[in-house]
Chain A
Amino acid sequence: MAAPTMHRSTDTPSAAPQTITMIKGLNQALRTSMERDPKVIVMGEDVGKLGGVFRVTDGLQKDFGEQRVLDTPLAESGIIGTAIGLAIRGYRPVCEIQFDGFIFPGFDQIVSQLAKLHYRTQGRIKLPIVVRVPFGGGIGAVEHHSESPESYFAHTAGLKVVACSNPVDAYWMLRQAIECDDPVLFFEPKRRYHEKAELDLSVAPQPLFSSRVLRKGSTATIATYGPMVRTSMDAAIAGAEDGLDLEVIDMRSLSPLDLGPVYESVRRTGRLIVVSEAPGESSIAAEIATKVQQECFYSLEAPVLRVTGFDTPYPPAKLEENFLPDLDRVLAAVDRSLAW
């Protein structure tokens, strides 16, 4: 590879800007990718006739056929394991895992084979596979349907891990992930699936593996991703009424982490709060906090604080409001930082 492929996606501005949901954005990204590259295939449980349990793959099998949209047997190791074989054969599979808590039966294939074959073969085998994972809580689901397993994969060399937070990113990031020659774990915040935004295809996307400052501010920095981006933005808006001027950064890429904008921000604000709904212990949030204290030690006015899910299994749905960070917990952390 002479040049990274992550900047490759551009669309001709033929269509007018349209208001879409995240589900529509993901669906459109799959459709466009499949139209452009006959080697892109979609595979998973119920992705065909049903269109996926969240309808992300709605209509694709009808238009692309059963050989490009595979309703697979019900086994996650099988989905990932056969996707690896198909990729060796030249295909670019996009696997759907129905829910976060079901990725663990496929964990072995992901960390033992998907992550390592490029390395083991000294680059002779590329595995351009995307594993889509609807993740996180907030939808009142039963157990194993609300988890945030992204840190397991960020911990494994050879995988790239991203999380989208809004419909526009959902579209572009999935397009770019499919074009990436590395395996990408693609986390989709299911509680944000129905939120809307305007997608203007004439606006070029930013690189996939980069973070983005969503809101400039001077009081403190919030670094967050996935479902907590919206929560953090709400906190920033609410905080503004109390005179807080919070900067919010959507990390977008969890492995590799693009920490440059965070360092730059913390050097101005002197304070960092990392917000994630995953349990905090040994997490992405922990990694961000560690790197920032290493790089910005003399700029920090207070310790880096984390607002995360608790170090418990995901609780029953009636307790998830207590488990999930909300606007008040974010602002309470800002107050603690300012009180230092």
Chain B
Amino acid sequence: MSSPERWSQPQPSGAPAATAAAPTAEQVIAGLRATSEGGAELVQLLTPEGERVDHPDFHIDITPDELRGLYRDMVLVRRADREANALQRQGQLGLWVPLLGQEAAQIGAGRALRPTDMAFPSYREHGVAWCRGVHPNEIVGMFRGVDHGAWDPVAKRFHPYTIVIGNQCLNAAGYAMGQRFDGKVGDDNGEATMVFFGDGATSQGDVHEAFVWASVYDAPLVFFCQNNQWAISEPTERQSRLPLYQRARGYGFPGIRVDGNDVLATLAVARWALDECRHGNGPVLIEAFTYRMDSHTTSDDATRYRLSTEVEEWKLKDPIERVKAHLSRNGFADHDFFDGVQAEADELAAVLREHCVSLPEPPPSRMFDNVYAEPSPALQAQQAEYETYLAGFAGGEH
């Protein structure tokens, strides 16, 4: 079951794939290994033990200062993520979508982007948001129910979170087509776009269509798939027979699997992919092989569908610990540095909490704002009628 050959064999004619029944635990594990195991093609530059390794195709020159910066980014976004998770548990947020475990994938990709690039997130990209200058304060409002995201997507070049799975891949493909039409690709100063989605999204028609559009229009678009092994409760086996990065070949562009828990490898691969796009050689698919350490959202219970041994195994591949080990082992950082970052993270969390709990209730009129760019008389009348109705309570007993 787990041999690579099994996946290249044609199915017997007339025999449907044996996917009708729910998979057993053994099948799930076999599927994970077959479709999701790192494998020989996994790009890694920093082992889980924190040792630098070489890769024949991907190199990165990075200073200790830059390394410390990546570490800081990851610690801060994890701390903000944990604080938001706690805020949900305390009833301050209606929902939270945890990024725990995916910090390296998101910081590696996010730090590869330049200010002139554009990013289209799904809804878990709090780390990418951080790299685009979007403060966690600007994110929590949508999970508290006061807005649909407070940041300016034009100024930050970071699109609104997209909840419907895969929609953003087509929007990103169109944006990248525009970059090409505008003559913004072709040299080192070129622009590129990166779109973020998960392993489950690869089953969506929109993602397929985005692969088609990006390839036939040579769009400068990096598809960044965070394969965190689970689409809520569905394992990668339920999405694909093949490792996801191999799908790119069918569309005629490169697909690369990178260790998504390795911030250096992710940064190196993302930089390379964006550079390909800048020079007009895009698109590229990156499969960041990672793991969602927490549940899908705070509404989910991951213990119902995955084994604790699997979680324990992935804890050993923690993206932050390996950078910390590397920094310590090589004398690039000391206790003061780590304590300082932790203190900064705690301060960020405190700011986030204070901001979240003090967010004002939006006025009812907000509901009617910006439905249209050019006002609709009927909607204006509806708003006026409702405001008159509300005004009727003012000063009265209710």
Known A119-B148, A120-B148; judge A182-B372 contact (CB<8 A).
yes
Asked if residues A119 and B209 are in contact (CB atoms below 8 Å), the reply is: no
0/1 interface trace, chain B 114-158, chain A, CB 8 Å (1 if under): 000000000000000000000000000000000111001110000
Q: Does A204 contact B (CB under 8 A)?
A: no
Which residue of the partner chain A has the closest CB to B377? A256
Which residue of the partner chain A has the closest CB to B216? A73
Q: Does A11 contact B (CB under 8 A)?
A: no
Known A83-B174, A117-B160; judge A78-B370 contact (CB<8 A).
no
CA distance A128 to B378 in the complex (A): 21
> Min CB distance, B157 to chain A, in Å?
10
> Min CB distance, A294 to chain B, in Å?
12
0/1 interface trace, chain B 157-173, chain A, CB 8 Å (1 if under): 00110101001011111
Known A73-B212, A73-B213; judge A113-B167 contact (CB<8 A).
yes
Query: Which of B147, B174, B369, B373 lies in contact with A85, CB distance below 8 A?
Result: B174
Q: Which A residues are in CB contact (< 8 Å) with B270?
A: none
Asked if residues B370 and A119 are in contact (CB atoms below 8 Å), the reply is: yes
Which residue of the partner chain B has the closest CB to A72? B213
Stretch at the interface among B42-50, B93-101, B178-186, B252-260: B178-186
CA distance A90 to B182 in the complex (A): 10
Asked if residues A109 and B175 are in contact (CB atoms below 8 Å), the reply is: no
Asked if residues B167 and A108 are in contact (CB atoms below 8 Å), the reply is: yes
Asked if residues B173 and A77 are in contact (CB atoms below 8 Å), the reply is: no
> Min CB distance, B363 to chain A, in Å?
13
Stretch at the interface among A1-9, A13-21, A49-57, A313-321: A1-9
Q: Does A122 contact B (CB under 8 A)?
A: yes
Q: Which A residues are in CB contact (< 8 Å) with B84?
A: none
Asked if residues A85 and B172 are in contact (CB atoms below 8 Å), the reply is: yes
Name the interface residues of B188-240: CB closer than 8 Å to any CB of A.
205-206, 209-210, 212-213, 216
> Min CB distance, B93 to chain A, in Å?
18
Residue tally, chain B, CB below 8 Å to A:
42
Q: Does A144 contact B (CB under 8 A)?
A: no
Asked if residues B374 and A181 are in contact (CB atoms below 8 Å), the reply is: yes
Q: Does A201 contact B (CB under 8 A)?
A: no
CA distance A294 to B167 in the complex (A): 39
0/1 interface trace, chain A 327-340, chain B, CB 8 Å (1 if under): 00000000000000
Q: Does B24 contact A (CB under 8 A)?
A: no
> Min CB distance, A176 to chain B, in Å?
11
Asked if residues A81 and B206 are in contact (CB atoms below 8 Å), the reply is: yes
Q: Does B376 contact A (CB under 8 A)?
A: yes
> Min CB distance, B149 to chain A, in Å?
7
Which residue of the partner chain B has the closest CB to A81? B170
Q: Which B residues are in CB contact (< 8 Å) with A4?
A: 374-375
CA distance A29 to B139 in the complex (A): 42
Which residue of the partner chain B has the closest CB to A90? B178
CA distance A1 to B374 in the complex (A): 8
Q: Does A237 contact B (CB under 8 A)?
A: no
Which residue of the partner chain B has the closest CB to A259? B378
Which residue of the partner chain B has the closest CB to A115? B371
Q: Which A residues are in CB contact (< 8 Å) with B209?
A: 73, 75, 77-78, 81
Which residue of the partner chain B has the closest CB to A123? B370
Which residue of the partner chain A has the closest CB to B206? A77
Q: Which B residues are in CB contact (< 8 Å) with A72?
A: 213
CA distance A122 to B154 in the complex (A): 12
Asked if residues A82 and B173 are in contact (CB atoms below 8 Å), the reply is: yes
Q: Does B176 contact A (CB under 8 A)?
A: yes
Asked if residues B378 and A257 are in contact (CB atoms below 8 Å), the reply is: yes
Q: Does A86 contact B (CB under 8 A)?
A: yes
> Min CB distance, A112 to chain B, in Å?
5
Which residue of the partner chain B has the closest CB to A6? B374
Q: Does B25 contact A (CB under 8 A)?
A: no
Which residue of the partner chain B has the closest CB to A258? B377
Query: Which of B153, B182, B213 lies in contact with A89, CB distance below 8 A?
Result: B182
Q: Which A residues are in CB contact (< 8 Å) with B154?
A: 124-125
Asked if residues B373 and A84 are in contact (CB atoms below 8 Å), the reply is: no
Query: Which of A88, A119, A120, A126 lies in contact with B175, CB distance below 8 A?
Result: A88
Asked if residues A122 and B147 are in contact (CB atoms below 8 Å), the reply is: yes
CA distance A160 to B377 in the complex (A): 12
Q: Which A residues are in CB contact (< 8 Å) with B210?
A: 78, 81
CA distance A90 to B179 in the complex (A): 10
Q: Which B residues are in CB contact (< 8 Å) with A5?
A: 374
Q: List 7 A-B contacts (CB under 8 A).
A: A85-B176, A86-B175, A117-B160, A119-B371, A121-B370, A128-B373, A256-B379
Q: A81-B210, A91-B181, A257-B378 are in contact. List 13 more A-B contacts (CB 8 A).
A: A78-B210, A81-B170, A81-B206, A85-B174, A85-B178, A89-B179, A108-B164, A121-B149, A121-B153, A124-B153, A125-B160, A128-B373, A160-B372
Q: Please list the 9 inter-chain residue pairs (A to B) with the smallest Cβ-Cβ separation, ordered nearest first.
A: A85-B174, A81-B170, A89-B178, A82-B174, A85-B175, A181-B373, A78-B209, A120-B148, A123-B370
